[in-house]
Structure 1
Amino acid sequence: MDKPAGGRVLQQELLSDAQDATNREHEPSLVQAIKLYSKAVGWSILMSTALVMDGYDTKLMSSLFAQGAFQEAYGKPLGKGKYQISAPWQTGLTKGSNVGQIIGLSFSGYLSERFGFRKTMIGALLIVPCFIFVQFFAPSLAVLEAGQILLGIPLGLFQSMACVYAVEVMPTRLRGYLTSYVNICWVLGQLIVSGVLRGVLDMKAPWAYRVPFAMVLAHPLDHRCFLAPESPWWLVRKNRLEDAKTSLRRLTSPQNVAFDLDKTLALMTLTTEHEREVNKGTHFLACFRGTDRRRTIIVIGCYCMQVLSGSTFRSYVTYFFEQAGLPTTQAFNMSIVAYGLGLIGTVLSWVPMTHIGRRALFNYGLIAVGSIFFIIGGLGVRLAFAPSSGLSWAIGGLLLASVFIADSAVLSVSYALVSEIPSSLLRSKSVVIARATYAVINIVANVLIPYQMNPTAWGWSARTGFFWAGSCFLGLIFSYFVVPEPKDRTIAELDLLFKKKVSARNFAKAQVHLSERQASGETFPDTELVKSM
């Protein structure tokens, strides 16, 4: 009888330490949290910066289709010195990276959980130059397509690992900032490629298109990631508690006497053991069982909201400025303005995300973007019957406004939500499933939008705004009834809230306490991980 009693005492001590760590995680102000986790902030920013390559690659290929040197090198002659990449090849090249990303995502969950985030990131960074060289020296469209698919594989790895690493090294107070920073990296990549392509407009072949490919190599992160500390949550999941403590020590400031490594480790340990007892598995199917089914559906919906909120439609801002009479060069410059607004919007999102929360900002963003699209659709009806440069200017201006609002209230928040909602055991796999679903929907949207906009197809032009306004409305219904508020909740508290099946609308005001586990008769398994504490 002594052993069970001793086990209960041990669990009581661990729960007490974990609750104390939870309370302390809620206490620090933003400035105090940054001081304590300044090293973690730096490492998280470094790991996420790899996603600049994803944003760069997303914009690069579609932009090269309009470059004369690229058309002449890979296109078919149309006569009078003009060349054109055929529509099937355009579709294949723009979607090739998405195909590769789906492949990379399918391996990401296994690799990151098997080898850790640091080693997986280093491996992905090391193979990027090999695939860039395939594109750089591609003698034909077929080889270029192969390079696009191959490059998409490490980009898929970056997408899942950046979000997960950020949330696993950050305290509750800083999670929103560093997870939404992922969107800054994505927008920054698109802004850089716009500037690069603007700079090579007058350059002759083959350097006019080879230089933009080579610029992807300007992200020497592999040797720096080699020095990065591993996620302490991953180390706890691997039962390497001493290594986890060392990692926590490297991520925090030793001068902060209020921070207790052992109690923070106790919180991680009990959270992990609780999830192991509930999940009974860490494979992909486990993401659709029990409480994790709800969490996975939320993550999928939040990721797909990036497409449903009209990201493909907003990319046509340059098209409408050209219709308004701007020269091609100046219209191209407007795309740089759009990405600049997106960058500013993401940074500004940190203020309302902190004060009003993710859920409210997400909903308001969908309402605002959907309203703008509806107005654009109305202007498109008038434009179809009475074309004028003034209407085209108005539509282009509204699309610029939608870029700013979407990045400040939808896209940035979605990255925070998809990182915070999953359980720690299945976070990598849930993000992989959600991102792969996003890639598939994005392919559909990119096939659909040319038909909507092209005058030789459906010819909707600006009336396409009605379609994406309806898409935003459907996303709003999902968000209002399904997406909860994870702001200021620790991972352990989120586990309890999902276990209690608290509705999305009541998440913010629901009260939880780690002692509820013991009150409900829940015990933690007598594993080596718990014994070692």
Structure 2
Amino acid sequence: MADVTKATAVQMDGGAKQRMAAAMQKEELKNISQEAQRATEAEQQLGLRESFKLYPHAIGWSIFLSTCVIMEGFDITLLGNLFAYPPFQKRFGVLQPDGTYQLTAAWQAGLTNGNQAGQIIGLYANGIIAERLGYRWSLIGALALTTGVIFIIFFSQTLVQLLIGEILIGIPWGAFQTLTVTYASEVCPTHLRAYLTTYVNLCWVIGQFLSMGVLRAMLQRDDDWGYRIPFALQWMWPVPLVVGIFFAPESPWWLVRKGRLDQAKRSVLRLTKRDAFPDFNADENVSMMVHTNELEKAISAGTRYQDCFKGVDRRRTEIVCLTWAAQHLSGSTMMAFSTYFYQQAGMAVDDSFSMSLGQYAIGGVGTVCSWFLMGWFGRRTLYLTGQVAMFVLLLTIGFAASAGRENEAAQWAIGSLLLVYALTYNCTVGPICYSLVSELSSTRLKTKSVVLARNTYNILGMVGNVMTTRMLNPSAWNWGARAGFFWAGTCGLCAIWSYFRLPEPKGRTYAELDILFEQRVSARKFKTTAVKPHDDSNDGPSDEEVAEMDGKKP
């Protein structure tokens, strides 16, 4: 009898311990939920001006890391515009019947697509490496690799050697494309996310402008150093970036996903300036990240590539991939080959480089304008309106090309329309894409979602590069500016997709977006649907479940 009584007591003690543990878990989750709710309300009430005052360090670090994209924009634009650069054409091109030199369309596509292939490899690898090592060390490793590969490009004597260098340098570029926009979206609050993520597009434009300026300055040279000097200038970026990134704070969201909550709190403290807001609570801010992470785990527990195509995340993956793909499908490839495009439309070499230089300057102005337009119209409206406007401009370019290359007025009209197109693109689709992709993916799958989206862009870019070089090259299809008709068609299809499938994330926290996707809210109703992401009733086991653990009913 004593043994039975003792066993019963042990069972009762075990049941009591189980109930106590469950109750403590429920209480802990309830506290986290309440802290998360307070942090969410405080963040939403900050406003834009207050967000700038509280997060100046986050803004500074995000801007610094985005400098990696300036370097990449410089390199990519350099290659595309060298196709129109006389010393490069003479060194690597084929003599034409008119006495000029041209790279064949096959090699133009091969060099650009080799670079794109390297980026695809680098992106997929980075999606795994960054999740394991963090954003800082992944970027530092990519910059170190870039420094070594530049030697291959600089000393290339043949197109094959140059192709190998372009493939290899594309691998670290994959890290820059992913981590800069992901870092910006994770270290900044809701009201700053759109500005810091679209700033990445401005970095692209700055890099393109610098590259074009260097080439324009080299036009007077007729030797190999005319293109070797621009290649050598690529070495000026990696070392200072490595030093700065080493001292940068890690993304607190990544640290939360790794369960390193103390480090996440220290990172939040480094990213904020609490003197301006003494009431700011770093613990509550981390609790918001923890609660959002747990919410996403409940919706979709995985963090692998295949999890991007399961359940709710399948829709999110479709949206971010096609949002980034629309950059190419809207005709932006014509801007990438703008100098070559202008020359094939009939402009002189000096004029073509000057027009491209003006194009990138206008692109920078457009990106700054997008920051104001986003505040007035939101992401979805601006993105869709831009696509419709570019559709009209591309059609007009195609019709203007019908006047023939001998019509000088028509060629300058085409050049002017392409500048207007560049302004429209960089006010809308160009920068807004970065904001949409970073905000509409879940935080647990953000890096991999951005990788898939960017690789969709790169794959389409490879197809677009092959087609565009053949459209413009006089030894191939020789369409010239009539290529505007083709890109107008794809741009129109993108506008139709955006109307039905693209949601509006403006002013939403990540937890709110998770709920909206989980409830399968229509894209056109995202802006108006009310949600409560930190509802206490959703946290932990109920009182009935706690009682049932001991075989009782309340």
Q: Which runs of 5+ in 2 are unaligned?
A: 1-18, 543-554
Alignment-derived partner of residue 238 in structure 1 = 258
1:5-44 equivalences under 5 Å are: 5-44=23-62
Counterpart secondary structure, 2:506:
coil
Alignment-derived partner of residue 373 in structure 1 = 394
Which runs of 4 or more aligned residues in structure 1 lie more than 6 Å from their structure 2 counterparts after TM superposition?
A: 78-81, 520-523
Q: 1:221 aligns with which of 226, 241, 251?
A: 241
Determine if contact 1:53/1:216 at 8 Å carries over to the other structure.
Answer: yes
Counterpart secondary structure, 1:309:
helix
Q: 1:284 aligns with which of 292, 295, 305?
A: 305
Q: 1:267 aligns with which of 288, 298, 323?
A: 288
Q: Is 1:252 aligned with 2:284? A: no
Alignment-derived partner of residue 464 in structure 1 = 483
| Offset from partner CA, 1:261-309 (integer Å, 9 cap, x none) | 0111111001111212322211100000011111111000110010011
**Cα 1:80–1:397, aligned 2, differ >3 Å: closer, same or farther?**
closer
Question: What is the one-letter code of the residue matched to 1:372?
Answer: L
Counterpart secondary structure, 1:214:
helix
Counterpart secondary structure, 1:200:
helix
Question: What is the one-letter code of the residue matched to 2:133?
Answer: F
Alignment-derived partner of residue 304 in structure 1 = 325
Question: What is the one-letter code of the residue matched to 1:349?
Answer: S
Alignment-derived partner of residue 476 in structure 1 = 495
Determine if contact 2:324/2:457 at 8 Å carries over to the other structure.
Answer: yes
**Cα 1:287–1:354, aligned 2, differ >3 Å: closer, same or farther?**
same
Q: Which runs of 5+ in 1 are unaligned?
A: 524-533
| Offset from partner CA, 1:315-336 (integer Å, 9 cap, x none) | 4554665577653212211100
Question: What is the one-letter code of the residue matched to 1:310?
Answer: G
Alignment-derived partner of residue 533 in structure 2 = 514
**Superposed displacement of residue 67, structure 1:** 2.8
Alignment-derived partner of residue 206 in structure 1 = 224
Q: Distance in 2 between matches of 1:107 and 1:235?
A: 20
Alignment-derived partner of residue 164 in structure 1 = 182
Alignment-derived partner of residue 12 in structure 2 = none
| Offset from partner CA, 1:103-162 (integer Å, 9 cap, x none) | 100101111100000011111111111000111112322221111111111111110011
Determine if contact 1:74/1:140 at 8 Å carries over to the other structure.
Answer: yes
Determine if contact 1:62/1:94 at 8 Å carries over to the other structure.
Answer: yes
Q: Percent identity?
A: 45
Alignment-derived partner of residue 505 in structure 1 = 524
| Offset from partner CA, 1:329-354 (integer Å, 9 cap, x none) | 12211100000001110011001112
Q: Is 1:390 aligned with 2:409? A: yes
Q: Is 1:407 aligned with 2:426? A: yes
Alignment-derived partner of residue 175 in structure 1 = 193
Determine if contact 2:83/2:340 at 8 Å carries over to the other structure.
Answer: no
Q: Distance in 1 between matches of 2:486 and 2:340?
A: 18
**Superposed displacement of residue 31, structure 1:** 1.6
Alignment-derived partner of residue 531 in structure 1 = none
**Cα 1:254–1:163, aligned 2, differ >3 Å: closer, same or farther?**
same
Q: More deviation in 510-519 or 13-22?
A: 510-519
Determine if contact 1:184/1:343 at 8 Å carries over to the other structure.
Answer: yes
**Cα 1:138–1:456, aligned 2, differ >3 Å: closer, same or farther?**
closer
**Cα 1:5–1:508, aligned 2, differ >3 Å: closer, same or farther?**
same
Determine if contact 1:317/1:396 at 8 Å carries over to the other structure.
Answer: no
Question: What is the one-letter code of the residue matched to 1:53?
Answer: M
Q: Is 1:88 aligned with 2:106? A: yes
**Cα 1:268–1:76, aligned 2, differ >3 Å: closer, same or farther?**
same
Q: 1:71 aligns with which of 86, 89, 95?
A: 89
Determine if contact 2:30/2:540 at 8 Å carries over to the other structure.
Answer: no
Counterpart secondary structure, 1:512:
coil
**Superposed displacement of residue 15, structure 1:** 1.1
Aligned residues: 521
Q: Distance in 1 between matches of 2:379 and 2:288?
A: 24
Question: What is the one-letter code of the residue matched to 1:396?
Answer: G
Q: 1:437 aligns with which of 456, 465, 474?
A: 456
Q: Distance in 2 between matches of 1:120 and 1:318?
A: 34
Q: Distance in 2 between matches of 1:324 and 1:110?
A: 44
Q: Is 1:144 aligned with 2:162? A: yes
Counterpart secondary structure, 1:487:
coil
**Superposed displacement of residue 74, structure 1:** 3.4
**Cα 1:24–1:483, aligned 2, differ >3 Å: closer, same or farther?**
same
Counterpart secondary structure, 1:310:
helix
Alignment-derived partner of residue 103 in structure 1 = 121
Determine if contact 2:84/2:339 at 8 Å carries over to the other structure.
Answer: no
Q: Distance in 1 between matches of 2:216 and 2:502?
A: 40
Determine if contact 1:366/1:472 at 8 Å carries over to the other structure.
Answer: yes
Q: Distance in 1 between matches of 2:98 and 2:296?
A: 67
Q: 1:424 aligns with which of 432, 443, 452?
A: 443
TM norm structure 2: 0.90
